[in-house]
Homo-oligomer: A and B are copies of this chain.
Amino acid sequence: MKFIENENFIKGLEVRKAVLGPNHVERSLAFADEFNSAMQQLTTEYCWGWLWNREGLERKQRSLINIAILTALSKPHELKLHVHGALRNGCTQEEIREVILQCAIYCGVPAAIDSFRTAKEAIDTFEE
């Protein structure tokens, strides 16, 4: 077994599948090898088991905050996954749009143009 199934990992795996979709998560874990499995361990345990399980913000709010962060940091690959996550968590297209418009003002117009392009692709390819 390549992963350490501690408490955060187990809780994290469940949330991660609920937000990013079970197919995506199972594929990521299946492709993990000696080079990158520690990254899968860390992400599952620390992002999903530790952070996303905390109280104080609803999942829907965490999704919108991630869209802002990923726009600010210019991370289109992760943004696409997290737009899907936002839709799974019940965010509306209107809310996603408003977050990216807010980024246009605070992160600059080029960051927002890139994220609108990525988010549009994510919305168009989303099927649940």
User: In the complex, what distance in Å separates the CA atom of A98 from the CA atom of B113?
Assistant: 22
Stoichiometry, as copies per complex, reads 6
Interface residues on A, range: 35 or more
Task: Please state if A95 and B42 are interface contacts (CB–CB under 8 Å).
Answer: no
Complex contacts, A43 vs chain B, CB 8 Å: 104, 109, 113
Interface residues of A in 103-128 (CB under 8 A from B): 103-114, 116-117, 119-120, 123
What are 30 A-B pairs with beta-carbon distances under 8 A? A35-B97, A36-B97, A38-B97, A38-B101, A39-B104, A39-B112, A39-B116, A46-B46, A47-B105, A47-B109, A54-B98, A56-B95, A56-B98, A57-B99, A57-B102, A61-B64, A65-B65, A66-B102, A68-B72, A69-B69, A69-B102, A69-B103, A69-B106, A70-B106, A72-B107, A73-B107, A75-B110, A106-B110, A107-B108, A108-B111
Which are the 7 A-B pairs with shortest beta-carbon distances?
A72-B72, A56-B98, A75-B110, A108-B108, A78-B110, A57-B98, A107-B108
